[in-house]
Chains A and B, each alone.
Chain A
């Protein structure tokens, strides 16, 4: 049985379909097809990070905090978000899907590996990078998906403005990375 799977994994057709990376442009077109389908079905584009804020707030509230009074959660729609559960929330399910979709792709390619953290530098980079992205995404009302990909496709000028300043941030980030995190 094991032999069979090893053979299957080495078969040229299998490799072509499930192992060798697709081109970036193929990825772009496929993502767009699903992005358009998402807008058609739900009347809104794909987003990732507003769900992160909700996840964090659930934890915050569970630890005894009261986020219900924050201006961010003032609207009725956002209040609802606070009182739903992980398995009943579309955004949570979609984000979980991204993790498992990527895991499936990696396993089919036989390329899964736990990649350990090796240096303190990586820990600091992950913490600072995560905090910056989390805070920034709330201010900008989204990430590269919500505030850029979806916004531009929606013909919102904000998407182009976000992109321009994102490039500035990426430039600063690259300099910091070369200086402190290499």
Chain B
């Protein structure tokens, strides 16, 4: 993002704080990259899978930081400022991923065999899901980042997020401990895989429609709250 309009107007009025002598962090970046690669090879000695997990982690963290992509902001900003630019980006993300996922699932379903992936990633819809989602929503706004966001910000050097990560982990254990109770409420909770309800073609139409309608709603919301749809 570069300097923008009317820089002379605001610029000439104020006395600028002189920038401290420059230090480049690029040498550390190169060193870290070497260590990341070396660690990948180290992981590869014992397992084929672990270096792949490592690559995915590095890529997710790198992309999240470079784009400032933030699932928290997608749900929070509409409530605070009315901006939906991140919300719409999340809709783009789920739209693109849906195309890939449905292709893989469909291929596995028509391919037969015992590795049917239809129910992969499909969770029960019950009271625990609803309560969990509300709690998670409150927590992520207060702490300033969700799970991936917290990890990303730990990498950026945020001490506050390191503290929040510790309690995130503690809360997870607490939640796991109580799942004996909550699990009972999930006993009759349905696991709904959309193609089971609407058929493959119907599910794609329904999912696409939901995403498009939400996208339009997000634009309208921003228009209403901020007067612009940028």
Contact = CB atoms under 8 A, between A and B. Distances in A.
Interface of A: 2, 5-6, 8-9, 20-46, 48-49, 52-53, 55-57, 59-60, 67, 70-73, 87-88, 90-91, 93-117, 122-123, 125-174, 176-178, 181
Given A105-B62, A154-B105, A157-B194, 6 more contacts: A36-B104, A57-B173, A135-B178, A136-B136, A144-B146, A169-B139
A172 B92 contact: no
Contacts of B191: 156, 158
B143 A125 contact: yes
Contacts of B226: none
A103 B22 contact: no
A44 B120 contact: yes
Interface of B: 1-2, 22-29, 32-33, 36, 43, 46-47, 49-50, 52-69, 71-72, 75-76, 78-80, 85-86, 88-90, 92-94, 96-98, 100-102, 104-105, 115, 117, 120-125, 128-144, 146-148, 150-161, 163-180, 182-183, 191-195, 197, 203, 207, 210
B160 A56 contact: no
A52 B61 contact: no
A115 B87 CA distance: 27
13 contacts: A29-B93, A34-B63, A70-B177, A88-B50, A101-B62, A104-B33, A112-B25, A125-B144, A130-B170, A134-B175, A149-B97, A155-B98, A155-B195
Nearest to A165: B133
A17 to B, nearest CB: 10
A130 B137 CA distance: 11
Indicate the member of B128, B147, B210 with the most A CB atoms within 10 Å: B147
Contacts of A53: 169, 172-173, 175-176
Contacts of A71: 179-180, 183
B93 A177 contact: no
Contact of A131 (B25, B80, B170): B170
Given A45-B121, A128-B142, A130-B165, A169 B92 contact: no
Q: Is the interface of B mostly helix, strand, loop or mixed?
A: helix
Contact of A170 (B93, B140, B195): B140
Given A90-B49, A127-B167, A135-B175, A114 B134 contact: no
B133 to A, nearest CB: 4
A140 B156 CA distance: 28
B138 A104 contact: no
B141 A174 contact: yes
B157 A113 contact: yes
B151 A99 contact: yes
B53 A21 contact: no
A11 to B, nearest CB: 11
Contact of A134 (B1, B102, B170): B170
A101 B73 CA distance: 20
B177 A52 contact: no
